[in-house]
Structure 1
């Protein structure tokens, strides 16, 4: 059941439990992926047979990649918590989604579209970044729902502001994932999309990088 009565998503015990699982997996990965890489490397060195290199190359490369990537997973877990503490859950039934065909998206970019909180008649697409954690969502969005398993993404929980950043999830909540608008310029800050002062302040509390308040016209 959607916890719509809570002031923020973080006030819901199931949400906190889902986040605890997310951050635990992130920290475990920080320990296990480097250990797996070192273990494979030690195994290869101990065998000392050159023709076996091709057997170890792919696992070594992948475990090194995951070990290198894992600090970003931890950072994203805490960014997720900041968003959950700032915004309530909203539920969207079959939000519009697609692949490419919007400004700023390549042919392979999957996106979801949500209404602007201050202009409900305007929708804002949010592009999912291409990396390991986005694959579950990318398989279930953009090309339609072909299986009962994929249909789990028909209802999307949303905690955030589509002008800046948000956490999306399937009912439960499960599969917490951060989506955010791409920076609008070289400074790496988000476009304010004409947001009110209150909306901008809330976004800053949620960890969104925005232009300096003095540079934003009232």
Structure 2
């Protein structure tokens, strides 16, 4: 799809040229699917569609309709491992939305911070000594440890679940986006093993689909091993699984 789109762009047309509304929507759909943290077990590297095409040319306000996530928050998720920092998520101002949306967005914001920490555990070429930590991550400056973040992510997801039961017609598709924060929180194996009730929260929040069943199976294996340094992408590829978290 990306190659076809590229072939339709006239040679010499700058990337910053404003796309038509339909093309902008198509780019966003592909861009979301291409954001690395929103998929597990990828067989090929990310193309970088969101950062290369969506951020330079699309609107930076409002909500992306497929995910129900604000574009400004997707900008941060697309920058994990590049230039997004934990402080970026703490500073995210949010968007105006209904209560169900606010629960979801808060879960994503905090899960984004956990994603950065998980990425650093797997990819940092050297250990974090005090001089290597960014200023805000220095001891006594970090506003929340990972256990607190996990509890807040799951609290937001559980509030969303109960809100959907109470108001099923308010936003019937919003729960389709809860897989990312659930999986990210679930990957904190040492924390989950100390809090088995949180494992039950994740089980209770699943949508009951085959995709959920597969993801829960992977998380159950992570919890059984009790190793927070496991690479879920390698684990998924070993099972021949490649799946988006939507």
Does the alignment reach a TM-score above 0.5? Answer: no
| Bigger RCO (CA 8 Å, 6+ sep) | 2
Normalised TM-score (structure 2) = 0.26
Normalised TM-score (structure 1) = 0.29
